[in-house]
Amino acid sequence: MSIATEFREFALKGNVMDLAVGVIIGAAFGKIVDSLVKDVIMPIVNFVAGGQIDFSNKYWFLSGNVPGGATLAEAQKVGTVFAWGSFATVVLNFVILAFIIFWMVRAMNKMKREAPPAPPAAPAEDVVLLREIRNQLKKK
């Protein structure tokens, strides 16, 4: 079997195609979660906190002369910064994504019905005949 034939068989297996579809849907789902965090959750957090909380622009400067009130991009141009706000946003996105996927898998598992138990197999014909003979002999 040639390598090309073997690769074609591998690539066309159902598992590989399922994985490809999963990756594509996962990437799209990640964008939905990013929007959920940025456009829905963070405004609620800002409202509860009573002000504008923008995690994406939070950082600690490690070296360099960073002027007060500089944005993250400006601070990165001037010196080395630890951009903890961007990391916090990504972690929040991951936690929300994991939570949503957990609930989706849980719902799918509840929707799956267990297969009904298989009916007991009918005894073979010779066994049925032997039982009938036994029953007839018991009657005598």
pLDDT at 53: 66
- How many angstroms separate the CA atoms of 47 and 42, rounded? 8
Q: What is the pLDDT of residues 65-113, one digit of tens each?
A: 666 677 777 777 777 777 888 788 778 778 877 888 788 888 888 887 7
Q: What is the pLDDT of residues 126-138, one digit of tens each?
A: 888 889 999 999 9
Its pTM stands at: 0.51
- Give domain limits for the chain: 3-115
- Domain 3-115 bears CATH identifier 3.50.50.60: no
- How many angstroms separate the CA atoms of 63 and 15, rounded? 49
